Amino acid sequence: MELKDHVIIVTGGASGIGREACLALAAKGANLVVADFNLDGAEVVVGEVQALGVKAVSFKVDVSKAEEMSALVDFAVEKLGTLNGIFNNAGIGLVKPFLEMDPASYLKVIEVDQHSVYYGMYYVAKKMVALGAKGTFVNTASIYGSIASRGSFNYNAAKAAVIAMTRSGALELAEYGIRVVGVAPGFIDTPISGKDAEFKETLAVQHMSGKLIDPAKVASVVAFLFTDAAAAVNGSTVAVDDGFLAFKV
């Protein structure tokens, strides 16, 4: 139970990678705040996590709002007594050609995928330093933080920023005993991929295994990064991409 008595916030915790991360962290003993805009879904995950023998609470949050992220952090400490980190995982996508990428379309993704990571890091760091608590931040970046994809100017920009913020945050927070790391998933097998088998196949073949990635496989890496076994990993973004970034045919 490497994370026994640790308190970790997971944003986007109601589904996909977030849900699987909650389960993986709970299996290591962490107490959790399952934060999501989908409160009903978050409460289901809370029940699943509590069944593993740890404490968990849910919180409805719009991660694009600074005041809601600040309230989330206060809630975590109020309910669970301390705070040892955050998995900044919530995110959205909005695909449009660049010449149709109007400011509203651009900002919708930037505010959720980029600004929320800053809010999470900032408010959690302030709280942890005030408490004298140590721990880890894990940020969800993407393979698209390192390469370009048509129709994803907004998403590419946001995820590249997450990689940069991970480096910068790690540098500035190391003296306080806070590590900051990232994960860059490839194409994940979740409902967001849709039901079009032909489309899903076009994504799958871009991995070395020729398959979409099980979100639990990403979650296992996330959970590891929160533990002391990963103490030497800091400022880096770990590709969990089944070789996507390593090859193309």
Q: Which residues are catalytic?
A: 155
Hunting for tokens 């699943």 — which residue is that?
Answer: 48
| 13 close to 89: Cβ distance less than 8 angstroms | yes
Exposed, middle or buried, 83 (CB in 10 Å: 0-12/13-18/19+)?
Answer: buried
Is residue 221 a contact partner of residue 215, using CB atoms and an 8 Å limit? no
Can you spell out the DSSP letters for 132-159?
A: T--EEEEEE--GGGTS--TT-HHHHHHH
Largest CA distance in the chain: 52
Burial of 2 (0-12, 13-18, 19+ CB in 10 A): middle
Q: In terms of Cα–Cα distance, which of 107, 91, 123 is closest to 17?
A: 91
